[in-house]
Structure 1
Amino acid sequence: MSEASAPHAADRRELTAAQRNAVAELLRVSPVADELGRRFVRAGHELHLVGGSVRDALLGRLGDDLDFCTDAHPDETLRIIKGWAESIWETGREFGTIGAQRDGLRLEITTFRAESYDQVSRNPVVVYGTSLDEDLKRRDFTINAMAVSLPDHRFTDPHGGLADLSAKVIRTPSTPGESFGDDPLRMLRAARFAAQLRFAVHPDVHLAMTEMAADLDRITAERVRDEFTKLLCGADPITGLRLLVDTGLAERFLPELTGLKLEIDEHAQHKDVYEHTLTVVENAVSYEEEGCDFILRMAALLHDVGKPATKAVGSDGRVSFHHHEVVGARLTKARMKAMRYPKEVTAKVTALVALHLRFYGYGRGEWTDSAVRRYVADAGDLLPRLHKLTRSDCTTRNRRKAAQLAADYDALEDRIARIAAEEDLARVRPDLDGNAIMELLGVPPGPVVGRAWKHLKEQRLERGPLDRDAAEAELLRWARAEGIIG
């Protein structure tokens, strides 16, 4: 690749390595990319691999989704790829984007853009641009403002993105104020890229994020949610979360996180709840087996949000947060609803927050087999995540205490496994189903059957499995006591 702008001499060795990564990655996709480039050139148009695709190629991590820009308008793009692409979609047409698939690669081809914003609207007004340089200037960050022309592989980097990639810094092509004024979501994207790439934001970018944080209110909850989800699922979510809090961005959509900074954690008084929470998130990430478990990470982030509202100082000066898990679950549900997360995701995160303290006290020997059954039944399919969250929540620096907590939880998991081997803990249900209840009591479908079913489930949790005769005897005893039968 030739360079439109030469790198600084001090960066030359590292940048050469980055370019070698890019060549290797581009060779993998070039049969499709170059063929597509030749089709556009024959039609009298330009085509450039651009944005995140170039950035990821330079980092040696290019995936199967490729982004292109062109001077061709959507109708012309459709004519060029018709009959060549294996499939075509036009869902992004209003933004100048045509999608296609070829040889296992997903391609998005977007007309040069020179977006304009009215500083009030929540979405950009798309205006087609006329040149590659104009298109690159309107992009969010310099590391996303590089291009590789096709099919000749000419490299264009008018804003020093290659040097910034080497320095691992996030900077904007125009001034940060202009960039964030155009689209305030870019402030959240800066934190997201810091989390995903383990990069630092340039001081000027950090300052603009702080001064313009309130502008994030112009952005829809759905767009904020999507960026935040990507941030939390980044390789280094802690860096991204700290940026959100330090710049005031968190206060605009997740104020509960900022609120944790003022509270003292009763488990470890050497650090506040905010620092404890970040450590729990970091611990939760270490327990993931494959990819990002957003539900686990979000539960780790929000598990203590009920503490500010429940803080109390006793006569002995000790701080307590009684029932903060109950209050935290309520706050979690409300916040995730405001952020427009799906109901099923919200329900799972909320349940984990509500259950995260249940384990404490187990080591004192107070748990019966019934308590273990209820723990498993209440967690349901969230039990593996609850195991990880509970272990992540142990952040004490007292090695003896940490070792004891770990041993206690090992013992609980072993006990669950033992009881599960004897009983079907994965499906704790009454020993009689609804049909058997109706037949034995001689009642039709209705509330009585539901009450009887609930009673038998409680007995199942309390006593373990009952054989048929014992279950029927218990049902009849209950029915007589309730006056259902004589």
Structure 2
Amino acid sequence: MLNMADGLARLGALAENPVVRTLAEAFAAAGFDLAVVGGPVRDALLGRATHDLDFTTNAHPDDILKIVKPISTAHWDIGRAFGTIGARVQGEQVEITTYRADSYDGVTRKPTVEFGDTIDGDLIRRDFTVNAMALQVPAVKLIDPTGGVEDLVSGVLRTPTDPNVSFGDDPLRMLRAARFSAQLGFSIEQATEQAIERLRETLRIVSPERIQGELVRLMQTDDPVRGIRVLVDTRLIDEFLPEVSALRLEIDEHHHHKDVYEHSLTVLTQAIELEHARHPGEAPDVPLRIAALLHDIGKPRTRKLEDGGVVSFHHHDVVGARMARKRLQALRFDTETTDAVATLIELHLRFFGYAEGAWSDSAVRRYVRDAGDRLERLHILTRADVTTRNKRKATRLANAYDDIESRIAALREQEELDSIRPELDGNQIQQILGIKPGREVGEAYRFLLDVRLDEGVIGADAAEQRLRDWWALRQAQAPRG
């Protein structure tokens, strides 16, 4: 629970931050108001670490630039049209924004900007009451016109004004509600949640890039599952990631399978736990987390009712990989993230063949080759995908994966497993066979790669002889004109 005495003490410490003091004194000397606003104030009251400093002021962009130039080592006005000036002050990046109110016209994807006259007016137009507080400096005065402190104490997310108006001003705020619910562990006030479900279709006017940014921020939280449940329960997720809610497959009395939606959320939770355990202190692995959430999205399309009350999902890994790629491209994810997620989904079932019967060294090499630099993510996803309550089965699968990781490590000691390639390169193939660059060189390369995967290192001389034998057989089998 929030202790106000401690919270106010932390606000005092925030006001004494060297960057805050420098800016406060500069703006006061120029005759303008300045306040730390939003997340830093909220986090200071909650005792959470503050990473970015955002300020609001009655100064307009031209005045802000004049004030920050003498006290900053760099400044930029890329957000000038929205009233925002960025600067680097004493080594820290800050953003300073004129009092404003963003709104959509209900048609275009870009917000319009109007500058305001008062800080209360600026705060009232923000997304949630817990983010609508400001610390005026250098006076060290908390400004809270919408009851943000009370909502912090209660652990509630509520819009400062009528949620219909607030979400109408910027529909992305509905997605932010899910993100802040996950980030802060707060519940969403009933009227606010009902408005999200009622207004969910208005999210369509928001650009895919902005939606993607909020989705990434949600996945970076310690408990994204909480936010995902909000998105699914309000059906907001159907506007940009409908494959997730589609996982809630009906189960009839004759055909049984595990709850795919709940299973996927469990896999995501377990993947995050493994991520923290195996790589403590590292930044959240967003591609891994998205793959964990989406790894079974191919199941609804491949679901088949079999005799004996069994439900099958043949090839849901391949189908799901294609679906994920298409969806992430629509959300404007970068190529690396899209490829990583699709690869992990396509490969996430491969291990279970190993658990049913030991693989040859060749199969292990191919597993490593196909995963490439995503192997560690695949290790985590595959382990997280075990959600059975059968302890004996869970132990067997865990031991099997321990075994495959040990075999990969042993092979890595013997061979350059992370960079498996033929023992002859393209230039050598051309020289040995007396051919020019083209399709035949690629076929020869793939033949030698298969030899390398199947048999390991055989040496350059043996590889050359195998290449010559393959080429001679190929020439003999070629049709004669």
Query: Shared fold by TM > 0.5?
Result: yes
CA contact (8 A) 2:76 2:87 kept: yes
Equivalent residue in structure 1 for 2:357, among 365, 388, 391: 365
Verify: 1:213 aligned to 2:200, yes or no. Answer: yes
Offset of 1:456 from its aligned partner? 0.2
Q: Identity rate of aligned residues, in percent?
A: 50
| Letter paired with 2:83 | G
TM-score by structure 2 length? 0.95
Aligned to 1:310: 302
Equivalent residue in structure 1 for 2:397, among 390, 393, 405: 405
CA contact (8 A) 2:264 2:292 kept: yes
| Letter paired with 1:231 | L
Query: Which portions of structure 1, spanning 4 or more consecutive aligned residues, are displaced by more than 6 angstroms?
Result: none
Equivalent residue in structure 2 for 1:437, among 423, 429, 432: 429
TM-score by structure 1 length? 0.94
Offset of 1:446 from its aligned partner? 1.9
- Provide the secondary structure at the position in 1 that maps to 2:75: strand
Q: Deviations over 1:422-476 (max 9, x none)?
A: 1111111001111221121111222221111110001111111111221111001
Partners of 1:262 and 1:485 lie apart in 2 by 52
Verify: 1:452 aligned to 2:441, yes or no. Answer: no
Verify: 1:18 aligned to 2:7, yes or no. Answer: yes
Q: 301-310 or 32-41: which moved more? A: 32-41
Offset of 1:38 from its aligned partner? 2.0
> For the aligned residues, what is the CA RMSD?
1.8
- Provide the secondary structure at the position in 2 that maps to 1:158: coil
Partners of 1:103 and 1:143 lie apart in 2 by 28
Offset of 1:366 from its aligned partner? 4.5
Aligned to 1:171: 158
> Given the superposition, is the C-alpha separation of residues 381 and 208 from structure 1 closer, same or farther in structure 2, using an over 3 Å criterion?
same
Verify: 1:395 aligned to 2:387, yes or no. Answer: yes
Aligned to 1:376: 368
Partners of 1:144 and 1:368 lie apart in 2 by 57
Equivalent residue in structure 2 for 1:82, among 46, 61, 69: 69
Aligned to 2:340: 348
Partners of 2:251 and 2:393 lie apart in 1 by 19
Aligned to 1:231: 218
- Provide the secondary structure at the position in 2 that maps to 1:127: strand
- Report 1:122-201 matches (<5 A): 122-201=109-188
Partners of 2:409 and 2:416 lie apart in 1 by 11
CA contact (8 A) 2:257 2:310 kept: no
Offset of 1:485 from its aligned partner? 11
Verify: 1:202 aligned to 2:189, yes or no. Answer: yes
Partners of 2:318 and 2:419 lie apart in 1 by 25
CA contact (8 A) 1:429 1:457 kept: yes
CA contact (8 A) 2:103 2:168 kept: no
- Provide the secondary structure at the position in 2 that maps to 1:48: strand
Q: 352-361 or 165-174: which moved more? A: 165-174
Name structure 1 gaps, 5 residues minimum. Answer: 1-10
> Given the superposition, is the C-alpha separation of residues 55 and 484 from structure 1 closer, same or farther in structure 2, using an over 3 Å criterion?
farther
Aligned to 1:100: 87
Partners of 1:366 and 1:142 lie apart in 2 by 57
Offset of 1:235 from its aligned partner? 1.6
CA contact (8 A) 2:15 2:138 kept: no
Name structure 2 gaps, 5 residues minimum. Answer: none
> Given the superposition, is the C-alpha separation of residues 431 and 117 from structure 1 closer, same or farther in structure 2, using an over 3 Å criterion?
closer
CA contact (8 A) 2:102 2:170 kept: no
Offset of 1:62 from its aligned partner? 4.2
- Provide the secondary structure at the position in 1 that maps to 2:107: coil
Aligned to 2:30: 43
> Given the superposition, is the C-alpha separation of residues 263 and 459 from structure 1 closer, same or farther in structure 2, using an over 3 Å criterion?
farther
Partners of 2:476 and 2:440 lie apart in 1 by 8
> Given the superposition, is the C-alpha separation of residues 479 and 126 from structure 1 closer, same or farther in structure 2, using an over 3 Å criterion?
same
Partners of 2:250 and 2:474 lie apart in 1 by 49
- Provide the secondary structure at the position in 2 that maps to 1:63: coil
Offset of 1:218 from its aligned partner? 1.2
Aligned pair count reads 471
| Letter paired with 1:135 | D
Q: Deviations over 1:365-420 (max 9, x none)?
A: 24111111100100011100000000000000111110010001111111111122
> Given the superposition, is the C-alpha separation of residues 426 and 333 from structure 1 closer, same or farther in structure 2, using an over 3 Å criterion?
same
Offset of 1:232 from its aligned partner? 1.3
Q: Deviations over 1:274-331 (max 9, x none)?
A: 0000000000111122221001101101100000011111111101101100100110
- Report 1:277-292 matches (<5 A): 277-288=264-275, 289=279, 290-292=282-284
Q: Deviations over 1:25-55 (max 9, x none)?
A: 443x2x2212321221222211111111211
| Letter paired with 2:383 | R
> Given the superposition, is the C-alpha separation of residues 64 and 240 from structure 1 closer, same or farther in structure 2, using an over 3 Å criterion?
closer
Verify: 1:479 aligned to 2:468, yes or no. Answer: no
Q: 461-470 or 14-23: which moved more? A: 14-23
Verify: 1:469 aligned to 2:461, yes or no. Answer: yes
Partners of 1:99 and 1:369 lie apart in 2 by 55
CA contact (8 A) 1:64 1:104 kept: no
- Provide the secondary structure at the position in 2 that maps to 1:123: coil
Aligned to 1:261: 248
- Provide the secondary structure at the position in 1 that maps to 2:424: coil
Partners of 2:170 and 2:354 lie apart in 1 by 51
Partners of 1:246 and 1:317 lie apart in 2 by 29
- Provide the secondary structure at the position in 1 that maps to 2:95: strand
- Provide the secondary structure at the position in 2 that maps to 1:186: helix
Q: Deviations over 1:176-200 (max 9, x none)?
A: 1110111110000000111111111
Aligned to 2:104: 117
